[in-house]
Structure 1
């Protein structure tokens, strides 16, 4: 066995700030496939939440504010519901007028390729901001910090 240096990894993958997003599987509430490349040249804010999570629900007005202030051709908000019932999530989203993109991960079905597993999401809510190149530029920042990062990026 021998080791050969082939150069620096120009696209390191990881789950923390400074690393590129790993490949993952995700579905919208209607079961259509979600991919980051559907939003080229955009900053993407992933919001991980659940209908069972009181702090997540408390955060919704702030997310509405961020979405209304920054949603344009350079920014998109994508919420990822980690829940047991997609209909319950859809009804909640409709009732709360959460008018942005929504993904669903069934907490009753283990999937090593799910967004929750790949990003090692263990607390809710969790937010991850991704730049247009797919790099994580913020993870679990306060809403004020996130707003400042988004404002400066745009």
Structure 2
């Protein structure tokens, strides 16, 4: 009887350890969600407060370098942030995005839905430009920032984070 209790306790502890180890690894994995121009427009129409849209891609060194400053600005001004990557979805670029996000501790990011942007395929690789124009931005860059009011109206758009900060 004592041996059966020990085995039960041992099995229970293994089960609990396994369950918690899975929870930990799941929480550390970044969440990447595909976004279309239509989803972007819907997302930015119903904001609860001022929001910075951060448009970037994972191979852009200046984009990555500015993320700590961006996070500081977001926290200090109690803003929301929407990260959108122009990496090609469903590719090695998306895998790189996940690695970069994990490294910089970015929890979630949208990625331009390549198949939606180019439903008939394309030889062009101007994801940044094509998505930017499709959502109505007059400019774009790497990185590119938009400060939106709670109604989704652009207060300022710039390639320079310092200009966004000055407007706050």
Indicate whether the TM-score tops 0.5. yes
Find out whether 1:80 has 2:80 as its counterpart. no
Cα distance in 2 between the residues matched to 1:38 and 1:133: 6
Describe the shift of the 1:120–1:105 C-alpha distance in structure 2 as closer, same or farther (beyond 3 A).
farther
- TM-score w.r.t. the length of structure 2 is 0.57
Contact residue 40 and residue 132 of structure 1 kept, 8 A = yes
Cα distance in 1 between the residues matched to 2:44 and 2:61: 32
Count of aligned residue pairs for this structure pair = 118
Cα distance in 2 between the residues matched to 1:122 and 1:144: 16
Match of 1:111 in 2: 117
Match of 2:109 in 1: 102
Cα distance in 2 between the residues matched to 1:147 and 1:68: 12
Can you give the 5+ residue segments of structure 2 that lack an aligned partner in the other structure? 1-30, 120-129
The DSSP-based 3-state class of the residue aligned with 1:66 is helix
Match of 1:29 in 2: 32
Describe the shift of the 1:105–1:121 C-alpha distance in structure 2 as closer, same or farther (beyond 3 A).
farther
- TM-score w.r.t. the length of structure 1 is 0.61
**Which has the larger share of helix?**
2
Query: Displacement, 1:98?
Result: 2.2
Find out whether 1:123 has 2:141 as its counterpart. yes
